[in-house]
Amino acid sequence: MAVTCHVKYIIDPDKLDKFEHYAKLWLPLVAKFGGQHHGYFLPSEGANDIALALFSFPSLASYEQYREASAHDKECIAAFEYANEHKFIRRYERSFMRPLLPE
C-alpha cells in the first residue's frame, strides 16, 4: 500500500458507544473500495475525546476514487447519516502518510 490515511477525531466522550458503532460500519467499507483498514483506536487511558483511524490505498488517486464512490454508495451514505444524526464527531483532521514497513 502506497498511501495511508490517518484520521484524528475529536469526539464527544459521552457518545463513545455511538462512535464505536460508526467505526464498525466503516471497517468493511474501505475494503469494499480497494483499501485496507488498519483499525480504529478508541480512547482508553489519557484523553477521553480522541480517536484515531488508519487505512491505506495503493495510491492517492485510488483514495480519491474511493472518496468519490463512497459519496454515492448506499452503505456509506447510511454511515454518514448516522454520524450526522448522533453528532458524536466534534471535528476531525485527515493526514496522508507513506508507510515504512518492516521487510
In terms of DSSP bridges, do strands 36-41 and 89-97 run parallel, antiparallel, or are they unpaired? Answer: unpaired
Residues with Cβ within 8 Å of 76's Cβ and at least 6 positions away in sequence, in order, are: 29, 70
- pTM assigned to the model: 0.90
Over range 88-97, report the average pLDDT. 96
Query: Would you call 93 helix, strand, or coil by DSSP?
Result: strand
Cα 33 to the center of its chain, rounded Å: 13
Please identify, in words, the CATH class of the domain defined by 3-97.
alpha beta
Domain residues of the chain, as ranges? 3-97
The fraction of the chain above a pLDDT of 70, given in percent, is 99
Q: In this predicted structure, what is the pLDDT of residue 102?
A: 84
Element (H, E) at 55: strand 50-57
More confident residue, 34 or 101: 34
